Chain A
């Protein structure tokens, strides 16, 4: 074996270790692996490149990216990222810090996690939030497990068809590997019975429509189950809060809080619940305390829930969090403030409604969903949905994403200017003309 600078063992080290365990070669270590699974060919790797060559080849690759104007949401929203956020998050104290195992020495990290939790509580109206989890879909699956752990002898989870497909897929994957039985339907409340531990509903469905949740909590609670709401945290600044709707748990993805789209991540999932359920809330929770001198300080709290203490009893094996992105969301919310969040939602509302009216006036679409929306909506095209989508891609727009029901989905955030919206409408009109309408 060639000696490479990043391998910590010298050939002498390896020889001594092999001698100690009575083997003649490294290959012998793997003699338990069946022969048919061993790769026998040559590795087809290119030869080494210099730094400038690597850079040039990556730049050439990057140059093939096309900059599209984004008019699609579906769980990932093109909101503006204030420059302060990447500047602060890139500080080495935040960027390079690993999960605080010696937690109380990392007061800065615990402090921002505490602020993140407090802001999630403010948005959801609920009592307790955790330090974040991997993403919104993971948060949904963890909430499903919380429901099962918090209700006795019940293991069925009802979920709405209106949840985003990515959320539903992760719920299905968790269900397959134990913990709960999942039933997804259009009207999950109709399937309530004594086997149901929890019901997961979106507060904004995947078409973008704001869901009327009147009576949902009463029905769920009357059946002895828990209500989980999947929310867009950005929209929570103007919508009725999950706590007001009577939800026991609120979850969602923090991506709309100024996180770049970045091909799907990193994002962060958030979870909040009523105090009565906090011992089943997975992951880390940071609490505020006083140190020996009486100063305000921060600690990891309720650790007995966590899997490293009572592994076989823990409801989850999550013991870390998506910390840097939680910090991202925290800085975003502190920059925006409650008023800024309201203005942002108002801007999204105005622009998305303007686009919808303009699109309907082209004659190429019919209105689909009733119900009001903030930034995302679906129309029914009087044309082939994927042909329209591809046409717009060629014109530089990521828009009119075909949905499972044959509709096309649009989204308009505060970043889209009137010029961009009008340009999209012109492209749609051009398409209609070329189709001979």
Chain B
């Protein structure tokens, strides 16, 4: 059973979003990390890069798989969690604390395309 945290928005591709004003803090769900297994590397964009909703912005590598990360919203990357460079396992330990990037959102209306915690929990059977 994976944990779905209340108060966050979720994408079909298992990223979570926490809004802080106009900034989207983005990570991957507990379901995603448990499916991946031990994460060994996080490929992150650079600050200042533009990301687009539904397009990949990086990738996760685990001992058994490699998976793209898709941007749940469009905008500009204003921060990357550099802690993950040396400690990618933080995503396995606490996926909702180990954010990956922060994005200055360009169009908040895009958030309507994301799922609530309840809808996501239903999707992953949590």
Which residue numbers of A lie inside 8 Å of B, CB to CB? 152, 279, 304, 309-310, 313
B43 touches A279 (CB 8 A): yes
Task: Given A279-B41, A310-B66, verify A304-B61 contact (CB < 8 Å).
Answer: yes
What are the nearest 10 A-B pairs in CB distance? A304-B66, A304-B61, A310-B66, A309-B66, A152-B46, A313-B59, A279-B41, A152-B49, A279-B43, A304-B41
Closest to B46 in A: A152
* A-side contacts of B61, CB under 8 Å: 304
In the complex, A304 Cα to B59 Cα: how many Å?
10
* A-side contacts of B46, CB under 8 Å: 152
Closest to B61 in A: A304
Task: Give 1 or 0 for each of B53-80: 1 = CB within 8 Å of chain A CB.
Answer: 0000001010000101000000000000
Task: Give 1 or 0 for each of B19-58: 1 = CB within 8 Å of chain A CB.
Answer: 0000000000000000000000101001001000000000
B20 to chain A, nearest CB (A): 26
In the complex, A304 Cα to B61 Cα: how many Å?
7
Additional pairs, 12, CB under 8 Å, beyond known A304-B41, A313-B59: A152-B46, A152-B49, A279-B41, A279-B43, A304-B59, A304-B61, A304-B66, A309-B66, A310-B59, A310-B66, A310-B68, A313-B68
In the complex, A279 Cα to B61 Cα: how many Å?
11
* A-side contacts of B49, CB under 8 Å: 152
* B-side contacts of A304, CB under 8 Å: 41, 59, 61, 66
In the complex, A313 Cα to B41 Cα: how many Å?
15
A194 to chain B, nearest CB (A): 14
B67 to chain A, nearest CB (A): 9
14 A-B pairs (CB sep. < 8 Å): A152-B46, A152-B49, A279-B41, A279-B43, A304-B41, A304-B59, A304-B61, A304-B66, A309-B66, A310-B59, A310-B66, A310-B68, A313-B59, A313-B68
Closest to A303 in B: B66
In the complex, A279 Cα to B43 Cα: how many Å?
10
* A-side contacts of B41, CB under 8 Å: 279, 304
* B-side contacts of A310, CB under 8 Å: 59, 66, 68
* A-side contacts of B43, CB under 8 Å: 279
* B-side contacts of A152, CB under 8 Å: 46, 49
* B-side contacts of A279, CB under 8 Å: 41, 43
A128 to chain B, nearest CB (A): 14
Most-contacted residue by chain B among A152, A304, A309, A313 (CB, 10 A): A304
In the complex, A279 Cα to B58 Cα: how many Å?
13
Closest to B45 in A: A152
B37 to chain A, nearest CB (A): 13
Closest to B56 in A: A313
In the complex, A313 Cα to B56 Cα: how many Å?
11
* A-side contacts of B68, CB under 8 Å: 310, 313
